[in-house]
Structure 1
């Protein structure tokens, strides 16, 4: 397996912030069962080599900082979310009741195959919000497509598929879709109103830009309306 994402600069800054020498860092890591020479810490901070997953977890503990700080990124993939929570692949697979090989394959192929129950356990273990979970299991694009079709057409027919996708009650989803459909229609009415009134081009472009920005944030807006109870299904 490839080395995890790692920022030498952030690791060095974290060490200096608490005033530890490389020797003291490896001594703290040794107490966690990960024995390395002080040269290893210097090599990581110099960017010569990146730590392994086990080394990354031990280093974060030794430096009293969250793993994501040493990764210096916002977790997006399944593996990145797992690392951010300090899970080894085997431990997470066991936690969610999934075969280790099946989980490893899902991570490497970026294709989630877990059951509904395993997906719920995954979201709980990694602390994933619905939007993040949809991205991790590869269904964010499906949500975007369905919502776009719903607001541009007859939204009622999309209530059931969207309710199943995000794991929310159909009544809640219907209310959210009605609101979104009305908001989208308002953009069109404003645009057509200014078009008929022969407003200047700049005003029409302004409305079109607002609508484009609203569409880009459509999934987030929908999930906010549906509420925290949503839990995407695989």
Structure 2
């Protein structure tokens, strides 16, 4: 497996912030079971070599520094999220209940094929919010489609499927869908009311534009409503 992302400048700055000389850092790493020389640490900070995952985790703990800071990035990929939580691939695969080879393929191919249960465990292990989980596993488009069908039709029948998709409780999803369905219905009522009243085309176009914008942000609105639900 390739070495993880690593910022020599961030590592050096983290060490200087807590005022530890290289000797103390490698001693702290040794207590964590990772024995390296001060010269190795200096090479990391100089950008000559890059630490392995095991070394990165030990260095982060020795420096009391979050792994994403040492990687100098906001986690976006599955591997980056795993590293940020200091999971080895083997440990996360075991936690999720997936064969290591299958998990490794998911990371390398950027394609998640886990079951619903494995997906929920993954989200819990990595501390993923629903929108980040959906983006990570490539199912954001599926959410958009299901929500559109739900607000335009009988929303209750979509509750269980959407709950599984975003990893939320049925009750929370039902409340969010009810609110969205009501909001969508109000757009239609306003449009029909102006149509019956023979309002000018300008007003009808304004309402239609507002509804289109609301539909465009439907997923964000749904996830916001879920975030507001204290029972999640």
- TM bracket, shorter-chain basis: 0.7 to 0.9
Q: Secondary structure at the match of 2:35?
A: coil
Give the TM-score of the pair, scaled to structure 1: 0.75
Aligned residue for 1:131? Answer: 131
The answer (yes or no) to whether the contact 2:106–2:113 under 8 Å persists in 1 is yes
User: What is the CA distance between 1:36 and its match in structure 2?
Assistant: 2.5
RCO greater where, 1 or 2, for CA within 8 Å and sep 6 or more? 1
Q: Any unmatched runs of 5+ in structure 1?
A: 230-234
User: What is the CA distance between 1:172 and its match in structure 2?
Assistant: 4.5
The answer (yes or no) to whether the contact 2:133–2:166 under 8 Å persists in 1 is no
The answer (yes or no) to whether the contact 2:12–2:45 under 8 Å persists in 1 is yes
Q: How does 1:63-102 map to 2 (within 5 A)?
A: 63-102=63-102
Q: Call closer, same or farther: CA 1:158–1:106 in 2, change over 3 Å.
A: same
Q: Call closer, same or farther: CA 1:228–1:65 in 2, change over 3 Å.
A: farther
- Counterparts of 2:231 and 2:131 in 1: how far apart (Å)? 10
Q: Any unmatched runs of 5+ in structure 2?
A: none
Q: Call closer, same or farther: CA 1:66–1:171 in 2, change over 3 Å.
A: closer
- Counterparts of 1:209 and 1:49 in 2: how far apart (Å)? 52
Q: Secondary structure at the match of 1:217?
A: helix
Q: How does 1:97-112 map to 2 (within 5 A)?
A: 97-112=97-112
- Counterparts of 1:227 and 1:166 in 2: how far apart (Å)? 16
1:153-174 CA distance string (max 9 Å, x none)? 2252544532442355656534
The number of equivalent residue pairs is 225
- Counterparts of 1:212 and 1:9 in 2: how far apart (Å)? 44
- Counterparts of 2:222 and 2:73 in 1: how far apart (Å)? 22
Aligned residue for 1:224? Answer: 227
Q: Call closer, same or farther: CA 1:171–1:215 in 2, change over 3 Å.
A: closer
Q: Call closer, same or farther: CA 1:44–1:169 in 2, change over 3 Å.
A: closer
- Counterparts of 1:216 and 1:114 in 2: how far apart (Å)? 22
Q: Call closer, same or farther: CA 1:144–1:45 in 2, change over 3 Å.
A: farther
- Counterparts of 1:138 and 1:66 in 2: how far apart (Å)? 27
The answer (yes or no) to whether the contact 1:26–1:37 under 8 Å persists in 2 is yes
User: What is the CA distance between 1:11 and its match in structure 2?
Assistant: 1.6
Q: List structure 1 runs of 4+ shifted beyond 4 angstroms.
A: 167-172, 184-193, 206-210, 225-228
The answer (yes or no) to whether the contact 1:131–1:223 under 8 Å persists in 2 is no
Asked if residue 154 in structure 1 is aligned to residue 142 in structure 2, the reply is: no
1:45-72 CA distance string (max 9 Å, x none)? 3334332111110110110112222223
Q: Note the aligned Cα RMSD (angstroms).
A: 3.5
Give the TM-score of the pair, scaled to structure 2: 0.76
Q: Call closer, same or farther: CA 1:155–1:187 in 2, change over 3 Å.
A: same
